[in-house]
Structure 1
Amino acid sequence: MFARGFSADSLGWRNFFSSLKDRGLSNVDIVVSDSHKGLKSAILKEFQGSSWQRCQTHFSRNILDVCPTRLQPEIKNRLRELYDAPTTEVARTVLNDILDEYSNTAPKAMELLDAGFDDITQVLNIPIKYRKRLRTSNIIERLNQEIRRRERVIRIFPNDESMNRLIGAILIDLDEKWSSGIIWLDMHEYHESKQDQAELQQVEPTKVVA
């Protein structure tokens, strides 16, 4: 589904999310986006109980933008190590190591990293198989780029219907690729993985009595 909006404020996004729920969207586990204030506010209000995963690609750019140039390559590698952590506990250990190493040389970046840690690691709560696909908003960014590429050819739409036809055609083509090709995200498999993960977490460790 897509909709035309006149602004990207919280109200506009809330109206869009509300329309998705009216069409049957429910039981949302995680929502991935950048940290746009209006978008984030709407997500937190419309999808209460779900996790908000801040796009790690956008977050890395924010971090590197306030890093000394000479430190950017090595901090970028350390961020990748944090993102690839298998658990939140391991990620927290990596975070503390990074903060200890760069707090004096890149204080602004480290302050931002520390404040954003919880937001960029929500994806660690879902099955491992799906983390790389859901830790960034890259897929929607690529789709937006394709829409803009096609839109620049037309330049000016004569009416709303022509705009809807173009964007609708692009989305239909993408939907056909996902439906007939390699399934990008198998929801049945996803829920099975979540159930397996929940059962493992419920198993109590064996107690050893001396």
Structure 2
Amino acid sequence: MPKVELNLEDDELKELLLGDRDKAMQSIRAKILDEILKSEATEQIKARAYVRSDERTNSRNGYRVRQLTTRVGSLELHVPKLRHGNFSTQLFKRYQRSEQAFDLALMEMVIQGVSTRKVAEITKKLCGTTFSKSTVSALCSNLDDQVLDFNRRPLTQKYAFVYADA
């Protein structure tokens, strides 16, 4: 992993120490992720920005603004673009729009019996971002294979109690 340096402005430090810590942490986390993305682009290109090198394999072509929903709120990231080919990062998958832990929390709510509409309301209150009920259902479709495996498992063990709910 490359070395990343982060510079904070005075107002950001004051906000972190004296003001709204959640907003400050959200801003700092976005800056850290942006710096990691820049350093990953440098590794892929094999040259820093604005530096000519014989080892250079590609060149930068601006960046793409992308929203990533996390546990601390929605972050605005600047994902680098490359002139030839696609930039790939280890932080998230190509079309991933929310943090893996956040997705798992949404799926866990549905498993525990919370309706998809209520999950959408909860995420609006907690994170300030909305997820439609169809988005929550699409996330939970990843669980279908696991549920089928559970339902089709052999019941070869002897069970002392059988509970049926109708």
- Quick check: which one's strand share is greater? 2
TM-score, normalised to structure 1, is: 0.25
Higher relative CO (Cα under 8 Å, sequence separation at least 6) belongs to 1
